[in-house]
């Protein structure tokens, strides 16, 4: 007797759990050939608020662990993704087509490894003792911003998200990420890797849904300290910046790929003066 396949359901990822939206809504997701793939959760403003609350609660502990331990966690993400490589490739193929799918997954895994190596080095590279004219020590030390809202690019859905998520986590921030609207399914499979790789609950939160509904909610939330606008359409940037202005959020735009400067973009440079002894 033939059996019916158990179809995968794709939910949100908030505070280490996989809830459905409080709104109960969903929207259809199609592949490149127009084939119906699944119904993704259509997140709401309430889901954004829940995710920000979780991120705020988790941010201080994540920021204060040693860079070495943070690097171990990021490397563990790469290990889990490597063990699920075939599944991730299959998700990318369904979302974007076969061409380049394996390379995209491999690049995403390698990105985690690359930033895992920077967690305990970025402070020395970006900080240090500054020469000043006077009997003082002038010391700069980079610190995490806090809670980062992240608008993932539409494509490539997996690599584009990882390239923005990894440096934010490397810097010690907690993240509320809005996944690609048209290709959200692979981001939830990524969340399954995060959930089983020692990333503390609340450090990463992934919301799927419609950009016009979710982006203003995260941009205007007063408990979000910075906003990565990589995935925002160019004609909507100005509107998003206005929404982010109420608490003077830092607006972060993508720069060079796999660069310590990408980590520094997610950090505050704190400088202190101390008198030299006689």
CATH number of residue 91's parent domain:
3.40.605.10
The answer to whether residue 11 sits within a structural domain is: no
The answer to whether residue 20 sits within a structural domain is: no
> Tokens at residue 172, please?
């010690």
Number of compact structural domains in the chain? 1
Beta strand segments in 159-246, E: 174-178, 204-207, 226-228
| pTM, to two decimals | 0.93
The answer to whether residue 21 sits within a structural domain is: no
The answer to whether residue 3 sits within a structural domain is: no
DSSP letters spanning 24-38: --EEEEE-TTS-EEE
> Tokens at residue 65, please?
């662990």
Task: Report the C-alpha gap between 168 and 177 in whole angstroms.
Answer: 11
The answer to whether residue 184 sits within a structural domain is: yes
Residue 191: domain span: 26-275
Q: What is the mean pLDDT of each run of 10 residues along the chain (278 residues)?
A: 87 96 93 94 96 98 96 98 97 95 97 97 85 83 95 95 98 98 96 96 97 96 97 92 92 87 93 80
The answer to whether residue 2 sits within a structural domain is: no
């Amino acid at each position: 007797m033939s059996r019916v396949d158990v179809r995968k359901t794709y939910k949100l990822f908030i505070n280490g759990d996989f809830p459905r939206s409080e709104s109960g809504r969903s929207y259809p997701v199609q592949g490149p050939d127009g084939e119906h793939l699944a119904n993704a959760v259509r997140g709401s403003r309430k889901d954004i608020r829940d995710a920000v609350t979780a991120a705020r609660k988790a941010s201080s502990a994540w920021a204060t662990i040693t860079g070495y331990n943070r690097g171990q966690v990021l490397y563990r993400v790469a290990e889990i993704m490597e063990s699920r490589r075939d599944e991730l490739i299959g998700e990318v193929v369904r979302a974007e087509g076969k061409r380049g799918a394996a390379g995209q997954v491999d690049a995403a895994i390698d990105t985690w490894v690359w930033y895992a190596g920077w967690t305990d080095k970025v402070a020395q590279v970006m900080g240090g003792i500054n020469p000043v004219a006077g009997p003082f020590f002038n010391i700069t030390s980079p610190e995490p911003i806090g809670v980062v809202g992240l608008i993932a690019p539409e494509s490539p859905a997996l690599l584009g998200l990882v390239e923005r998520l990894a440096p934010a986590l490397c810097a010690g921030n907690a993240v509320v990420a809005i996944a690609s609207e048209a290709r959200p399914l692979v981001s939830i499979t990524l969340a399954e890797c995060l959930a089983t790789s020692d990333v503390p609950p609340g450090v990463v939160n992934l919301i799927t849904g419609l950009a016009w509904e979710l982006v203003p909610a995260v941009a205007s939330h007063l408990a979000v300290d910075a906003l990565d606008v990589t995935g925002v359409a160019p004609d909507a940037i100005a509107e998003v910046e206005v929404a982010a202005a109420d608490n003077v959020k830092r607006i972060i735009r993508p720069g060079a790929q796999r660069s310590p400067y990408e980590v520094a973009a997610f950090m505050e440079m704190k400088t202190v003066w101390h008198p030299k002894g006689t």
